[in-house]
Amino acid sequence: MKQKVSQISPDKLYASLLKRKNEQEQQARLKSPIVTANKYLVSSNRNSGGSQKIEAKKSRPASGKDLKDVSKVLLKKTNARQNSKLVETKENSQNLSTSALSLLLKIKQDKYENKQSQIQQAKDPYNQETIQKKYQKLMEMTKQQQQLILKPKLFKGPRSISNPDISTMQLQIVKANGQSAAGMLYNGQTKTNQDIFKLIPKFCHRENDWYIQVSDGHGTNGHQVAQFLQEVLPQFVQQGVVHMTSCYERDKQINQVLKNCFLQTSDELMDSGIDITYSGATTVIVLSFDNVLYCANIGDSRAIIGRYDNKLSVIELSKDHKPDCFLEQARILQRGGRVQAYSDEDGNPIGPARVWKLDEDVPGLAMSRSFGDYVASQVGVICEPEIIKHSLLPCDKFIVVASDGIWEFLSNEQVVEIIYEYYKKDDSQGACQKLIQLAREAWQREDEVIDDITIVVAFIK
């Protein structure tokens, strides 16, 4: 039996063979363990872009199984990319964790330091330790500066235009004179002079140092008290300052030394045998060390400087201690005294304020500080001096130290104007005589009595 053989056209046969060949190549690619390229993705290569797109369209899979295989390959690559990102994310996370830990440690350290600072500030709210260190440093700088000032400076020539800050000028007292005149009573008789003054050039055996003192006694034995002060007080002052060889040492100790000298003199006066129940004396002293002055004062005697700098002016070296001054009166009231002026029949005040005992009309003292005056000392009258320092300037021309006999009716400005005319003539003695004359005339015009008058004038060059 003969079989029937079907005839196939050459075109169909060629197409069938080509299709089978393509399928075999596709299966071979899918079975390969390593995928070298994704034929469904278009390459970014500009030269082969068009041809790759055509090939991709021709070689698309025709069955669902092929699509699944392709999905597996894509999934593997996707997992690989995700795993890579996870690794990178983990590394970044570790880096961030390290940075965050460093930041936390820094914040913790800052909190600790702030807490320590707060604890230190709580222990010392006013920062006393720092202030003390700054104070010590300032004191050391001051001491060094004083030492530099004390070093002698030798200049080859006088002050010049090229070096205007260099000056060989040394300001000091070059001449001093004093005069004292007794007052007059109501009946016209001359009274016992209770004022006294003392001038000591070359004080403590130093060429340019001076000691000036004016004491004004009051009461029955006021002249004895003043005489005692003239003899004793300068000795104590000399013993106190003779060992002071430097400006720094003197500035540091002079106030306490002078206060001790006044207190020692008061103690000696108490043991002197002079009856000081209602007698005493005011005192003002001026110490001149080269171009520096120290004034110590108790009572209403006074010291001033006459200055000429295009015009005349006054520099006060002391302050009057009157009972009605606020601080003086407060001390007297605290000690059980009272401050009141004399009064007439109608109760109107007459004259200056005076110190009295609270329940008695004694002693009636017209000043709040003095030597002696035992009764007044029980109600707040003291002998502690008020001390003022003054550095002389080229415009300072003369010093005036006088009792209240001068100052009662003559102002500071009037005294300076009168003395300046004698300063120009270099006549200190004539200045003293003129001032005493003018003061007596003022007392005669203004009062029925004349107080004792004492003045010392010292010229500065």
**Tens digit of each residue's pLDDT (9 = 90 or more) over 399-419:** 999 999 999 999 999 999 999
pLDDT of residue 89: 53
| Statement: residue 159 has pLDDT above 90 | no
Q: CB–CB of 149/248 below 8 Å? A: no
d(CA 401, CA 281): 15
pLDDT of residue 397: 97
Average pLDDT over residues 441-460: 96
Q: Token digits for 76?
A: 């593997």
The residue with tokens 């994310």 is 89
Average pLDDT over residues 260-278: 97
CB atoms within 10 A of CB 152: 4
Between 109 and 181, where is the model more confident? 181
Q: CB–CB of 248/214 below 8 Å? A: no
Average pLDDT over residues 208-213: 96
| Statement: residue 173 has pLDDT above 80 | yes
Long-range contact pairs involving 196-203 (C-beta distance under 8 Å, separation at least 24): 196/223, 196/226, 196/227, 196/229, 196/230, 196/454, 197/230, 197/401, 197/454, 197/455, 197/456, 198/230, 198/234, 199/456, 200/234, 201/176, 203/238, 203/287, 203/288
pLDDT of residue 237: 97
> Which residue type, as a one-letter code, is found at position 220?
T
Q: Residue 39 burial (CB < 10 Å; 0-12/13-18/19+)?
A: middle
Q: CB–CB of 158/443 below 8 Å? A: no
d(CA 175, CA 427): 9
pLDDT of residue 415: 98
| Statement: residue 343 has pLDDT above 80 | yes
Per-residue confidence band for 98, with pLDDT thresholds at 50, 70 and 90:
low
Full DSSP string of 222-270: HHHHHHHHHHHHHHHHHHHHTT--SHHHHHHHHHHHHHHHHHHHHHHHH
| Statement: residue 60 has pLDDT above 60 | no
pLDDT of residue 52: 52
d(CA 103, CA 31): 54
Mean pLDDT of the chain: 81
Per-residue confidence band for 31, with pLDDT thresholds at 50, 70 and 90:
low
Could you give the strand order of the β-sheet that contains 302-308, starting from the edge strand earlier in sequence? 173-181, 453-460, 396-402, 302-308, 312-316
Average pLDDT over residues 205-212: 94
Pairing mode, strands 371-372 and 280-289: antiparallel
DSSP state of 203: G
Buried residues in 8-20 as b, exposed as e (16+ CB within 10 A): eeeeeeeeeeeee
d(CA 56, CA 26): 12
d(CA 75, CA 35): 12
pLDDT digits (tens, 9 = 90+) for 290-322: 889 999 999 999 999 999 999 999 999 999 999
Picking from 349, 299, 355, the residue whose alpha carbon sits closest to that of residue 330 is 355
Q: Residue 99 burial (CB < 10 Å; 0-12/13-18/19+)?
A: exposed
Between 119 and 53, where is the model more confident? 119
pLDDT of residue 347: 84
pLDDT of residue 165: 38
The residue with tokens 């700054």 is 134
Average pLDDT over residues 228-247: 93
pLDDT of residue 111: 65
pLDDT of residue 363: 96
DSSP state of 420: H
3 state DSSP class of 19: helix
d(CA 146, CA 134): 18
Angle between helices 10-31 and 64-123 (to 10 degrees): 30
